[in-house]
Amino acid sequence: MSPVQTQEAARMRAKAALRKGLRISLSYALMLVILGFAIFPFLWTLAISITDKQASGISIYDFPKSLFPPAVTLGNFFEVITKLNLGKYFLNSVIITALTVVGTLVVSALAAYPLARLQFPGRGLIFGAIVATLVLPTEIAFIVNVLTLRDLGLLGTYAGVVLPIIATAFGIFLMRQAYLAIPGTLMEAARIDGASELQILWRVMIPLSVPSLTALGIFTLVGTWNAFFWPSVALLTNDDLLPMSVAILKLKGQFNYDVFNVAAGAMIMMIPVLVVFFLAQRFFMRGLEGAVKG
Amino acid sequence: MKRQALTATLIAYAFLAPALVLMGLFTFYPVFYGSYLGFTDYTVADLASGEGPRWVGLKNLQFVLSDPLFQTGILNSLKYLLVVPLLQIASLAVAVLVNQKLPLMAFFRVGYYIPVVTSISLAAVMWEWIFQKEGFLNWSLQLLNLINAEGRFNWLLNEHTALWAIMLVTFWRGFGYYMVLYLAGLQSIPAELEEAATLDGATAWQRFWLIIVPLMRPTLLLCSLLSTIAAIRVLEEIIVFTGGSGGPLNSTYTALLYVYNKSWGNMLNANFGVAGAAGLLIALVGFALSYINFRLTREERGER
């Protein structure tokens, strides 16, 4: 190779490296901007929630000062709990979420078993009916469900919020999928040993389906904790049982509401979800696709 | 033997019973009874006095169809569909961006997903401050010299921007979710294809539109279907941002908000017949859109 050619090749390589470096820097710059878009609302709300309103006396709209509070306190958190009774709503959220998660797991784990592993008349029909719930026009369901809860005497109770939402096609299909992956020989062995179907479910299927149960539990937990519309309708007549997701907007709807307290309340509601999300991120980042395919 | 089969069937139904009872009572029954209500006269006063629904045939459907408020609602819901293409293309682009083999990609993906696990009520609390007249959005625009201090306005109280502002929040809560679905799809595109295009001198822009988008069409169409169904049923966003008023000047009044405000959203004036009829009409629009989308998806699948 002549010296000229070597030089030329080196220049080309340098140019390519430069272009690559530029492309990577651009990628990161873009990703940082998008990250800002995604999490800025949280950062600002966090800043507001820890702002010492007595000391600084600043408006939350005093940019950029309000993004970096000069005096920091946890006072807003105590105030929103003691003065605005946020503890009560937090507890309501915990109860409604816990009941929904347990209910969903029990109902789905039970219903999925015969659909996955037993032969019985009407199986195809039931399967079809559960699939049909995915396309039914649920727009009008809430109107009637409130009437039904009223007739059952469950309107404005925890049970009234929870019972209508625990039997879902998503949960049943997720569990069915898990049971289908378990080798049939295990069931046969248990049957020969004289195990009943309930024992097979409890001793064989459930222990081997823990990952799916966990995934279902986590999705249900986050979904229920965040849910706004249904609890707001089912608890129309009983403000005392409202979860935080509904209560926080009631607090904010008050005339002359305290911005700092509401921000603290928002953080209190967000933190448990964030903890669960960070701990269980692989379930979310894997996507729901595999689960929904049924 | 027959006895055994009977026992097995009973056991199967015992396992299914909780799910079947709950689904029957709270998913199937309300759809059928709600549809029936759409053809009756049934108000909250009837409910209080213990009177049942009275059959009135197509009266409610006629009323709803000629009600300007419902027409506004349908128009606004259709307008809301504009978020679908923007959201889908942006989510795919973001997925491509974080699909590169570079450090910290997992960190960015998790960050982008945080809005997805945020309650709509919290989103409303936070974004309302951003959209205020003195809020962060206007401050940023001022910083970029796009508006001046006099030009500032509350984005949620202006009838030309309110719906767009709420759509931005839908976009914010959605792009991380679809990004994850697209990431799964992107794994199936052979890396050599992109490398070859790069060697041939294709720019990133060309590679995105000429290679990635065509190859991702099945996933794009599936996600568009999910996104379309969600968009035509938009309701929660409107309730949390406008308190259910659909204001200013009905500019954010969507079709499903009509159903809500004719029933439990405005309990003292609830008319379940009118609400049911409106719900049925929206369901029809939803079915039509799903069908169109489904046909497109199927043709696409047949082609490949």
> Quick one: how far is CA A275 from the chain centroid?
11
pLDDT in tens, B168-181: 999 999 999 999 99
Answer left, alpha or beta for residue B270, where phi above 0 means left and psi between -120 and 50 means alpha: beta
pLDDT for the residue numbered A289: 43
Segment A184-209 shows an average pLDDT of 91
Q: Which residue's entry shows tokens 């030309």?
A: B160
Could you give the residue ranges of the DSSP H alpha helices within chain A? 3-49, 53-56, 75-82, 86-117, 123-132, 141-152, 158-162, 169-180, 184-192, 197-200, 206-208, 210-226, 229-234, 244-253, 259-279, 281-285, 289-292
Q: Does A229 touch chain B (CB under 8 A)?
A: yes
- B186 vs A30, A200, A281, B217, B220, CA distance in Å? 19, 40, 20, 11, 11
Dist CA A205 CA A207 (whole Å): 6
First to last CA, chain B: 49
More confident call, B63 vs A136:
B63
CB spacing of A141 vs B34 below 8 angstroms: yes
Pairing mode of beta strands B54-55, B40-41? antiparallel
| Mean pLDDT score of chain B | 91
| Whether the predicted pLDDT of B192 surpasses 80 | yes
Q: Do B31 and A40 touch (CB under 8 A)?
A: no
Q: Give the residue-averaged pLDDT of B182-198.
A: 86
Rounded CA separation B253/B22 (Å): 32
Model confidence band, residue A102 (pLDDT cutoffs 50, 70, 90): very high
- Name the DSSP class of A5: H
Ranking A41-50, A124-133, B198-207 by mean pLDDT, the lowest is B198-207
Map out the domains of chain A as residue ranges: 3-73, 84-292
Whether residue B46 lies inside any domain: the answer is no
Question: pLDDT value at position B65?
Answer: 96
- Probe site for chain A from B122, B223, B254 (most A CB atoms < 10 A): B122
Interchain proximity A284–B180, CB inside 8 Å:
yes
- Number of separate domains in chain B: 1
A97 interface with B at CB cutoff 8 Å: no
Q: How far apart are the first and last CA of chain A?
A: 62
Out of B181, B272, B275, closest to residue A287 by CB:
B181
Task: Considering only the beta carbons, identify the residue of B113, B134, B243 that sits closest to A61.
Answer: B134
Cβ–Cβ under 8 Å, residues A115 and A273 = no
The confidence band for A133, taking pLDDT boundaries of 50, 70 and 90, is confident
Do residues A155 and A276 make contact, with C-beta atoms less than 8 angstroms apart? no
Asked if residue A47 has pLDDT above 50, the reply is: yes
% chain A with pLDDT above 70:
95
Q: Is A68 on the interface with B (CB under 8 A)?
A: no
Give Cα A116 to chain centroid, integer Å.
27
Residues whose CB falls within 8 Å of the CB of residue B97, separated by 6 or more in sequence, listed in order: A27, A30, A31, A34
Tokens representing B173? Answer: 């809560």
Average pLDDT score over residue span B43-51: 91
**Closest partner residue to B126 among A45, A226, A273, by Cβ?**
A45
Q: Report the residue from B23, B236, B283 with minimal CB separation from A139.
A: B283
Q: How far is CA A275 from CA A67, A268, A270, A272, B104, in A?
A: 23, 12, 9, 5, 20
pLDDT at position B64 over 60: yes
In the DSSP assignment, the letter for residue A70 is S
Among the residue ranges A135-144, A217-226, A271-280, B77-86, the one predicted with the least confidence is A135-144
Inter-residue contact B138 to B158 (CB < 8 Å): no
Residues of A in contact with B8 (CB under 8 A): 118-120
Residue of A139, A222, A227 with shortest CB distance to B256: A139
Is residue B43 situated within a structural domain? Answer: no
Neighbours of A256 (CB within 10 A): 4
- Give whole-number Cα distances, B271 to A54, A194, B244, B249, in Å: 49, 58, 17, 23
Inside any domain, residue B255 = yes
pLDDT at A214: 94
> Predicted confidence band at B297 (pLDDT cuts at 50, 70, 90)?
low
Q: What is the CATH number of the domain that holds B258?
A: 1.10.3720.10
Domain span at B80: 61-303
C-beta atoms of B94 and A34 within 8 A: yes
- Rounded Cα distance, A263 and B126, in Å: 8
Closest CA to A86 of A231, A221, A250: A250
Instruction: Find the mean pLDDT for residues B119-138.
Output: 94
B241 neighbourhood in chain A, CB within 8 Å: none
- Position A293 scores a pLDDT of 32
pLDDT digits (tens, 9 = 90+) for A209-259: 999 999 999 999 999 999 999 999 999 999 999 999 999 998 887 767 888
pLDDT at B57 over 80: yes
**Nearest chain B Cα distance for residue A203, angstroms:** 16
What whole-number percentage of chain B has pLDDT above 70?
97
Confidence (pLDDT) at A252 = 84
Any idea which of A203-217, A274-288, B69-83 has the lowest mean pLDDT? A274-288
Q: How far is it, in rounded angstroms, from Cα A245 to Cα A89?
A: 9
Q: What per-residue confidence (pLDDT) applies to B113?
A: 95
> Contact A273/B22, CB-based, under 8 Å?
no
Cα pseudo-dihedral A15, A18, A24, A27, rounded to 10: -80
**What percent of chain A lies above the pLDDT cut of 90?**
66
- The complex scores an ipTM of 0.91
Residue contact B113–A121, C-beta within 8 A: no
Pick the closest to residue A285 from B177, B161, B133 (CA basis): B177
Q: Which CATH class is domain A84-292?
A: mainly alpha
- The phi and psi torsions of A2 (rounded to 5 degrees) equal -75, 155
Out of A107, A142, A145, name the one closest to residue B19 (CB): A107
Looking at the complex, does the CB of residue B53 fall below 8 Å from at least one CB of chain A?
no
**Mutation site, A143, A147, A155, A166, interface B, largest B CB count within 10 A:** A143
